[in-house]
Amino acid sequence: MTFDLTPEQDQLRDAVRALGRRYGHSYFVSKAKSGEHTTELWAEAGRLGYLGVNIPTEYGGGGGGITELAIVCEELAATGCPLLLLVVSPAIAATVLARHGTEEQRKRHLPGLADGTQKIVFAITEPDAGSNFHRLSTVARRDGDDWLLNGRKCYISGFDEAGHVLVVARTEDSSTGKLKPALFLVPTDAAGLTSSKLDMEIVSPENQFLLFLDDVRVPADALLGESLDAGLPALFAGLNPERITVAAMGAGTGRYAIERATDYTATRKVWGGRSIGSHQGVSHPLAHAAVQVELARLMIQKAATLYDAGRDLEAGVAGNMAKYAAGEAAALAVDTAVQALGGAGMTTEYGVATLLGAVRAGRIAPVSREMILNFVAQHVLGQDKSY
What is the pLDDT confidence band of residue 255, given thresholds at 50, 70 and 90? Answer: very high
Q: How far is CA 8 from the centre of its chain?
A: 23
What is the pLDDT confidence band of residue 174, given thresholds at 50, 70 and 90? Answer: low
For residue 179, what pLDDT is reported?
77
Residue 1 has pLDDT above 80, yes or no: no
How does pLDDT run across 187-197, given as a tens digit for each residue?
Answer: 999 999 999 99
Residue 204 has pLDDT above 90, yes or no: yes
Q: What is the mean pLDDT of the chain?
A: 95
For residue 173, what pLDDT is reported?
65
**Distance, first Cα to last Cα, the chain:** 37
What is the pLDDT confidence band of residue 176, given thresholds at 50, 70 and 90? Answer: low
How does pLDDT run across 269-295, given as a tens digit for each residue?
Answer: 988 889 999 999 999 999 999 999 999
Of 170-174, 296-300, 328-332, which range is least confident? 170-174
What is the pLDDT confidence band of residue 99, given thresholds at 50, 70 and 90? Answer: very high
* 260 neighbors 350 (Cβ within 8 angstroms): yes
For residue 272, what pLDDT is reported?
80
Residue 124 has pLDDT above 80, yes or no: yes
For residue 229, what pLDDT is reported?
87
What is the pLDDT confidence band of residue 31, given thresholds at 50, 70 and 90? Answer: very high
Residue 4: DSSP 8-state: P
CA distances from 270 to 116, 150, 153, 279 (A): 48, 62, 52, 11
For residue 177, what pLDDT is reported?
59
192-229 burial, b for 16+ CB within 10 Å, e for fewer?
ebebeeeeeebbbbbbbbbbebeebbbeeebbbbeebe
For residue 175, what pLDDT is reported?
61
How does pLDDT run across 42-97, given as a tens digit for each residue?
Answer: 999 999 999 999 999 999 999 999 999 999 999 999 999 999 999 999 999 999 99
Rg of the chain over Cα atoms, rounded to whole angstroms, equals: 21
Residue 134 has pLDDT above 90, yes or no: no
Residue 186 has pLDDT above 90, yes or no: yes
* 194 neighbors 150 (Cβ within 8 angstroms): no
